[in-house]
């Protein structure tokens, strides 16, 4: 599925963070490997038992704000998830195509808004190590609104907070359920990232166009003068 964007009709670009602007390898390692390993060591159970327990815990709250909440996981697992996140911070890295794309958006007069489900501490750690904030106009964590991106109430709140017009907005994310939620709200352009984790094979989307390199959008964007 190909996405043809009429850039002259786009004022605002909403961007997810993990897997969209940052390499998802950081989060996949942290949540799929480091957390189960640390939990297993603390509990004195086998790696396989720890993996299965953690998997069940993740599944139970998927697509809710708790799934993204470091405080929830610290309490649920008895681990200092915030401290672990801080320690892993230097491993957070930008995608290669992120800065060229964000700079091209700025040159074309587009408003660049980060909209992440990441917990504020997680967001702060990643901003510190990537310098991402200097390439964005506004940074929003859904935790400050009380709903994740999967929830229509979040989209209503973000529209009210930012004044964005859904019909003049592009949204980029690496989660199909979240892209679905944005489309349901009326966001005109919804684009999926096919290579969120540099260490894994590309993924595909059933209901949305996909992209693996934002730099391919720059020529059409650059033709449009602000």
Q: Find the catalytic residue in 9, 11, 151, 213.
A: 9
125: closest CA among 78, 81, 158, 155?
81
Residue 151 DSSP one-character state: S
Whole-angstrom Cα distance, residue 88 to residue 83?
Answer: 9
Whole-angstrom Cα distance, residue 56 to residue 64?
Answer: 15
Determine the 3-state secondary structure of 12 from DSSP: strand
Whole-angstrom Cα distance, residue 199 to residue 143?
Answer: 28
Q: Is 97 a catalytic residue?
A: no
169: closest CA among 154, 186, 149, 181?
186
Radius of gyration over every alpha carbon of the chain, rounded to an integer in angstroms: 18
Active site residues: 9
């Amino acid at each position: 599925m190909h996405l043809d964007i009429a850039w002259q009709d786009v004022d605002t670009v909403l961007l997810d963070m993990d897997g969209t602007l940052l390499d998802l390898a950081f989060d996949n390692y942290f949540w799929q490997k480091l957390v189960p390993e640390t939990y297993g060591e603390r509990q004195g159970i086998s790696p396989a038992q720890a993996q299965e327990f953690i998997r069940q815990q993740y599944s139970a709250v998927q697509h809710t704000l708790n799934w993204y909440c470091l405080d929830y996981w610290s309490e649920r697992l008895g681990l200092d998830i915030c401290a672990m996140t801080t320690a892993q911070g230097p491993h957070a890295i930008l995608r290669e195509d992120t800065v060229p794309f964000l700079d091209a958006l700025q040159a074309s007069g587009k408003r660049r808004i980060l909209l992440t489900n990441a917990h504020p501490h997680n967001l702060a750690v990643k901003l510190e190590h990537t310098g991402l904030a200097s390439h964005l106009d506004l940074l929003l964590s859904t935790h400050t609104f009380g709903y994740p991106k999967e929830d229509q109430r979040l989209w209503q709140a973000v529209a009210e907070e930012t004044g964005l017009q859904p019909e003049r907005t592009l949204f980029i994310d690496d989660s199909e359920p979240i892209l679905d939620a944005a489309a349901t709200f009326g966001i005109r352009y919804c684009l999926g990232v096919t290579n969120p984790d540099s260490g894994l094979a590309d993924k595909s989307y059933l209901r949305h166009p996909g992209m693996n390199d934002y730099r391919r959008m720059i020529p059409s964007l650059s033709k449009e003068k602000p």
